[in-house]
Amino acid sequence: MTIFLFLTFFASLAYSGQQKYRSPCKIHHPGDSRVEFECKRLRAGENFEKLFGDRWQDVLRFNRVDRRHVYQGIFLKIPKNLKDIEGFTSMPLDYPPGPVSFIRASFVV
């Protein structure tokens, strides 16, 4: 029984180390249609500070990732014009009005 648990534990460790995150290029969000972009692979030696200067955080926000999820070889959405993603938010530009509801509360003191 001990050997089985030992092998199961190390097999799960080996599997978890091989998992990769899905590329943002494979995920389509409604807000992405507002920005013209192309998918490019991040090459060895490239990083966001070198590629985009002080706009690197906007590019990561547009891809809906943080620095921990960016690695060599990942495909990312690169906007054709960096000004298009200035102040980018993944939220829709407008929301349809929701249903009106009332909450009736009774407080006894």
pLDDT tens, residue order, the chain (109 aa): 666 555 555 555 554 444 466 778 888 887 788 889 999 999 998 888 888 999 999 999 999 988 888 888 889 999 999 999 988 887 777 777 888 877 777 788 7
The DSSP code for 99 is P
Instruction: List the Cα angle 76/56/71 in 5-degree steps.
Output: 45
